[in-house]
Amino acid sequence: MALLIDGPRIAAKTRATKQLVVFLHGYGSDGNDLIAIAKQWQGFMPDAAFLSPHAPEPCALAPGGRQWFALTMRDPEERWIGVNKAAPGLHAFLDAELDRYGLDDANLVLVGFSQGTMLALHVGLRRAHAPAGILGYSGELVGPEHLGEATARTASGKAPPILLVHGDRDDVISAEALFLSAEALAKGGIPCQWHLSTGLGHGIDGPGLMHGGLFAAKCLKLKLGPDAKAAR
């Protein structure tokens, strides 16, 4: 049985929800960590509701924090087991929230940070129907050898658009993970965009936030005003 999850929410600015943006936080954090990004993106996406669920498990190494799955070592098999264990709960949450707003996956963008990126890529690429886009900060693709399972496609038969953003001085998940993930996705027939933030460690900077917000808006087929276009 999938564990129920929930977390902070920010309603659509127009109060007429037409899109859904779901943030997946990193290991040892919680849903409050990313929800503030919504206020920076609402100008691009006034009809979008933003959700940032808390991961279902308490984090053993960060009292008060949460985890999508346990991490005890840098072991690819442990991460593969972890994303598969966490996936049913996230699928159930996404299905329920889309149903709540009368939307489908074509109106959904998944945004992850670190461990949340691992889960966003895993789940987003395995939905019955592809989300509008997947945005991953400071994370990596888990189980690239299993990309044959990544069958989520849009109505036009394409894989979901993906943007990976990473700091070149990340000492938690090396920036090399960005290039390895992008290469693996390309080999699996799933092209992705990427952005490397100069001088950034394990975090999200202003340019990365702007790049990600514009990417999400484009995935949702939203018209951008002249100010947003100039910020690209």
Distance CA 142, CA 140 (A): 6
Provide the pairing of β-strand 162-167 with 193-197. parallel
Using an 8 Å Cβ cutoff, are 106 and 16 in contact? no
Q: Which amino acid is at 203?
A: G
Q: Is 202 a catalytic residue?
A: yes
Name the active-site residue from 25, 170, 197, 211.
170
Q: Would you call 181 a catalytic residue per the annotation? A: no
Find all residues with CB under 8 Å of 166, minimum gap 6, and list them.
Answer: 137, 138, 173, 175, 177, 178, 194, 195, 196, 197
Q: Residue 52 catalytic?
A: no
From its phi and psi, is residue 178 left (phi > 0), alpha (psi between -120 and 50) or beta?
A: alpha
The residue from 52, 114, 138, 197 that is catalytic is 114
Task: List the catalytic residue out of 104, 195, 202, 205.
Answer: 202
Catalytic annotation, residues: 114, 170, 202
